[in-house]
Each structure stands twice: as structure tokens, then as C-alpha cells.
Amino acid sequence: MNTSLSLFRLQTLFTRRVVIRRRLEQIETLLAEDETVKAADLAREAAAQTFETAQKIQSDHQALMEERRLKKDLTHAQLFGGKVRSPKELQELELEEKILTDLLSKMEDEMMSQMASSDQAKADLESAKSLHQAAIDQKATDSSLLIAERSKLQEELGPLGVQLKSLAQEIPTEIFKDFQELLRIKKGRAVAEISDGSCDACGMDLTPADLQLAKSSPKPIRCKNCGRMLFFKS
């Protein structure tokens, strides 16, 4: 095989290997990441806390109402029981009953609004639970896709390495060293195709003599502008 062609293929394989390795790193990062699930879990915990607080407020309020209702019943019984006869005391009992009745009516209204808050908190908690579960499910789906992709890429790496090695052996040592150096300097593009008589990497036109040389020389010629090895695709 023509050395330039081998170099060009080698470069294609190198590039593919770089792409695979980068993607594998990215996959590891994505697999380790679980911010979305963590955030959904925190939101669920917060919603549970809010619901618990709303329930506590409601039950404390109901207990207090019960206590006042009993007190009102007692006052009422005293008022009409016949044992208390002093007009002053009766007047006091009457006033107390009225105060308790008003208070209980206010507390009844408050209880309605507390029940609404508690219902809302319960609905919010249910929705936070579903979102948390959905985040867990999504993470599992994403992870299984990523794991499948990782296996496929890892399987590709083995044969790719073998191909790279055997191709590298076809290239004279000196040229291979130059190629590796260029690959490093030119960030993965050491070899450029010649298309329409110019270097595909930098656009520099080749002289007819260089074009002829690129076609016939067993060794790759360099672009006079960017220094890349030129490959004539016949």
C-alpha cells in the first residue's frame, strides 16, 4: 500500500480512537452524575415536611377546639343547672358562654383554611413523590443506554488497536515518527487530502510539479504552507 494512503488511514483510526476515548470518559461522568435524582429527593423531603407540619397544626387546633367546646358545654350546664343563682355570677357565665361561642366560630373558620392547606400539602407531596420516582426511572433508562453504548465502544477499541498496530508497521520508522509529531502539533490532522489541486487542510494551491510528485512519490510530500503530509486520493 502507498505510504500516504496508509498514513491517511492511520490518521482516521487514530481520530476514531480519540473520539471513542473521549466519549468513554464522558459516559463515566454521566453515569456518576445523579444531580436530578438528588434534587427530586430533596424536593420530596421538603414536601413531606410541609405536609407533616400542616397536619400537626390541624390536629393541635382540633384538640384546642375540643377543649373549648367542653368548656362551653360546662358553662352552659352551669348557666341552666339551677345551682348558680347570683345574678352577677349568672351574668358572668352568660358572658363566658358568648365569648366561647364566638371563639369557636372563629376557630371553625380557621380549621377550614387549615384543612385546605393540608389538602394542598398532601397533593404537593404526591406530585413530588411521582417526580422523584420519574427521575429515578429516567436515570435507570439513561444509564442502561449509556452502559450499552460503553460496551459497544469498548468492543470497538480492541480491533481498532490491532488495526492501528499493523498499519503502523507498514510505515517506515522515520516517516512514522514525523507523522506522530505532526499529529500532536496539528491536533489530530497530520495528513491532508489534496482536493482540486490544493491542500484540503489549509487551502494552499499546489504547483503542477508538487501535484505530480504527490501522485508518484512513494514518500508523502509536505504542504508548503501548513506542513502537513499530503495524500493524493486517486
Q: What's the min distance (Å) between Cβ of 224 and Zn ion? A: 8
Q: What three-state secondary structure class fits 230? A: strand
Integer Cα distance of 210 and 222 in angstroms: 9
Choose between 121 and 190: whose C-beta lies nearer to Zn ion.
190
Q: What's the min distance (Å) between Cβ of 28 and Zn ion? A: 36
Choose between 139 and 222: whose C-beta lies nearer to Zn ion.
222
Per-residue x/- marks for Zn ion, 145-184, CB under 5 A? ----------------------------------------
**Quick one: residue 84, left, alpha or beta (phi over 0 = left, psi -120 to 50 = alpha)?**
beta
**229, amino acid identity:** M
Residue 225 binds to Zn ion (criterion: CB under 5 A): yes
Q: What's the min distance (Å) between Cβ of 138 and Zn ion? A: 47
> Among the residues of 33-86, which ranges form H helices?
35-80
Choose between 55 and 225: whose C-beta lies nearer to Zn ion.
225
List 27, 183, 206, 223, residue binding Zn ion (CB under 5 A): 223
Choose between 10 and 182: whose C-beta lies nearer to Zn ion.
182
In order, the DSSP letters of 181-206 are: HHHHHTTT--EEEEETTEETTT-PBP
Integer Cα distance of 14 and 168 in angstroms: 11
List 202, 207, 215, 233, residue binding Zn ion (CB under 5 A): 202
Residue 84 binds to Zn ion (criterion: CB under 5 A): no
Cβ atoms 221, 41 nearer than 8 A: no
Choose between 161 and 188: whose C-beta lies nearer to Zn ion.
188
- Of 10-18, 25-33, 125-133, 204-212, the window that binds Zn ion (rule: CB under 5 A) is 204-212
What is the dihedral sign for C-alpha 131, 134, 136, 138? Answer: negative
Please write down the long-range contacts of 5-8, taking CB distance under 8 Å and 24 or more positions apart: 5/231, 6/167, 6/170, 6/171, 7/171, 7/175, 7/179, 7/190, 7/191, 7/220, 7/229, 7/231, 8/191, 8/193, 8/231
List 199, 206, 214, 229, residue binding Zn ion (CB under 5 A): 199
CA angle 30, 35, 39 (to 5 degrees): 160
Residue 185 binds to Zn ion (criterion: CB under 5 A): no
Q: What's the min distance (Å) between Cβ of 183 and Zn ion? A: 15
Q: What's the min distance (Å) between Cβ of 8 and Zn ion? A: 14
Q: What's the min distance (Å) between Cβ of 180 and Zn ion? A: 18
* Residue ranges in contact with Zn ion by CB under 5 A: 199, 201-202, 204, 223, 225-226
